[in-house]
Chains A and B, each alone.
Chain A
Amino acid sequence: EVQMVESGGDLVQPGGSLRLSCAASGFTLSDYWMGWVRQAPGKGLEWLANIKQDGSEKYYVDYVRGRFTISRDNAKNSLFLQMNSLRVEDTAVYYCGTGETWGQGTLVTVSS
């Protein structure tokens, strides 16, 4: 069964950092572009970042570029999102996925 499980979400103060992880199973991560999408409470979906199969290309939406870093470890079938300089408006559920399949999400709350 294809599955992705996100972890690492937490309550953090503005200006703080978090590292989200995504463990993939049931498929070979290295075959796919991977991405992170988020959903603020009661709001719609936002695509944040993409990473190519071998990690050689990365794309970010403007408002996270320079603060967030997407990475992957194909040997461990894992995807990551390093988030720095967090803002209150980054509060959301963060999902990792291939486009076709998405995890259950992990909640990031940025608040003082």
Chain B
Amino acid sequence: DVVMAQSPLSLPVTLGQPASISCRSSQSLVYSDANTYLSWFQQRPGQSPRRLIYKVSNRDSGVPDRFSGSGSGTDFTLKISRVEAEDVGVYYCMQHTHWPHTFGQGTKLEIK
């Protein structure tokens, strides 16, 4: 199975400051159709997961533009340009290039 390794696992951030989460996969996530199926999810406390980013860098509808995704191959990053109070929660990367689809361990973002 493809292992997704996130860092850091805990991310204390001051309001208004940027935040960055790294995700590394144990294999390339480039599929045979040349797409890279790497997504980012946000899970606020007590809520179900919400997808923020798909195919590395595409924001889902309604996702604020302070969220951005980048990367290629095995190395990916989620960036929040200016953290707001509503961004508190756990962030997961997930690959669905290979079966089984696998998630990272999660990064808990909190406000300092």
Contacts and interface: CB of A to CB of B under 8 A. Distances in A.
Interface stretch (A15-23, A81-89, A95-103): A95-103
B92 to A, nearest CB: 6
B67 to A, nearest CB: 15
Contact of A44 (B48, B54, B103): B103
Interface of B: 39, 41, 43, 48-51, 54, 60, 90, 92, 94, 96, 99-106
B99 A59 contact: yes
Nearest to B95: A47
Contacts of A99: 39, 51, 54, 96
Nearest to B39: A99
B100 A100 contact: no
Nearest to B48: A102
Interface of A: 35, 37, 44-47, 50, 59, 61-62, 95, 99-105
Contacts, number: 45
A62 to B, nearest CB: 8
Contact of A95 (B48, B99, B102): B48
A44 B103 CA distance: 8
A37 to B, nearest CB: 7
A100 B101 contact: no
Contacts of A46: 103
Given A99-B39, A100-B60, A47 B100 contact: yes
B96 A44 contact: no
B49 A47 contact: no
A50 B101 contact: yes
B49 A37 contact: yes
B49 A102 contact: yes
Contacts of B43: 45
